[in-house]
Amino acid sequence: MEESVVADFVGRVHTSDLGSGEPVTGRVLLSQRRLVLATDDGKTTVPLSKVFDIVVGTVPGDLQSFFSDSVTVAYDRDGQRGTALVEGEPDDMERFTRLLFKALLRGVTVTVRHPAKLGGRVTDASDHTASISLSPGAIGFADCPEPFEVDLSTVIDYERTDRTIAGTKRPALVFRHVPETQTVTSIATVPDKRILNVLGRYIKLEYDEVMEDVEAFDPTEEQLEILVSIYSAGGEANIADVITGDVAQTEMVLDTLREEDLVVDGDAGAALTRKGQMIVTSYMESVNS
């Protein structure tokens, strides 16, 4: 490889080129331009410009028994879909994942609107071009009038959509995050669907882990009523203002929500945590579907 290598480690790999259906030991090399997987039987070179998707931690069914901490890279191989799976030690994989996303999003310019909403209120923010910068557990938008950074652990929801900018229809990612107690909605319009896939995968890196806890929690009717009421009030509210009924019973239910890390005490009353916000979002999606 002529360009400098940013990651180099030995792990287990499986690619579309391998004759074997099982992963084998291989050397993983990553530069700013390509990913190379070298085994005793040969090597697979994946130009990063051909990568259109990355999946962290989820392995295709026929390979699930072989991989644990893994990254799957999907890429265009002469018009066909190629895949490369990599597994390694946790520290190696954490660094590899971060550097892979960083290389794929290097030099990408997007159009951001931030904050597009504060709580449920639409702001008068306008669109600005920005460059993407990645750091462990966060994504930053720089080279714009008001640079900002989003902690991935605060992302509670996201969706893909299309926006028309300067007469051109382009893909966009709408994501909501809770930096403190108020929900903030930001919009990033990207050049193409390939960048949309990669950016979306990065933003949701920590989202899936929390969703497992969300899906495992089965709220009672009273708990759900309180969560939805706080959500409808903008994510934080004095319970006396939004709930009618027995105050003592409401406080008891609130205590259970605090124990489940769904509600915390904010400046203006009870505030939803990230997990609480995600439970309400999931509930409302199920109602509307």
The model's pLDDT over 21-53, given as tens digits with 9 standing for 90+, comes to: 788 999 999 999 999 999 988 899 999 999 999
Name which residue leads in pLDDT, 23 or 192. Answer: 192
What pLDDT, on a 0 to 100 scale, did the predictor assign at position 213? 80
CA–CA dist 132, 142 (Å, integer): 6
What pLDDT, on a 0 to 100 scale, did the predictor assign at position 289? 57
Residue 158 belongs to domain spanning: 109-205
Task: Encode pLDDT of 10-28 as tens digits.
Answer: 999 999 777 667 889 999 9
SS3 (DSSP) at 122: strand
Residue 240 has pLDDT above 60, yes or no: yes
Q: Which of 205, 233, 252 is the last residue of a domain?
A: 205
Q: Does 47 fall in a domain?
A: yes
Report the chain's mean pLDDT, rounded to a whole number.
88
Q: Which of 80, 104, 128 is the last residue of a domain?
A: 104
Q: Does 212 fall in a domain?
A: no
Beta strands 128-135 and 138-142, pairing class = antiparallel
Considering the domain architecture, whether residues 113 and 99 belong to the same structural domain is answered as: no
Question: Vertex 148, ends 4 and 110: CA angle to 5°?
Answer: 65
Name which residue leads in pLDDT, 99 or 246. Answer: 99
φ/ψ of residue 57, rounded to 5: 85, -10
Domain count, the chain: 3
Task: Encode pLDDT of 273-282 as tens digits.
Answer: 888 988 988 7
Q: What's 153's DSSP letter? A: G
Considering the domain architecture, whether residues 144 and 93 belong to the same structural domain is answered as: no
What pLDDT, on a 0 to 100 scale, did the predictor assign at position 234? 78
Considering the domain architecture, whether residues 132 and 90 belong to the same structural domain is answered as: no
Q: Does 91 fall in a domain?
A: yes
Residue whose C-alpha is closest to residue 174's, from 163, 159, 189, 162: 159
- Is residue 91 within 8 A of residue 129, CB to CB? The reply is no
Considering the domain architecture, whether residues 115 and 97 belong to the same structural domain is answered as: no
Q: Does 174 fall in a domain?
A: yes
Residues facing residue 264 across a β-bridge: 271
Considering the domain architecture, whether residues 114 and 98 belong to the same structural domain is answered as: no
Q: Does 210 fall in a domain?
A: no
Residue 184 has pLDDT above 60, yes or no: yes
Q: How much is the pTM?
A: 0.79
Q: Does 211 fall in a domain?
A: no
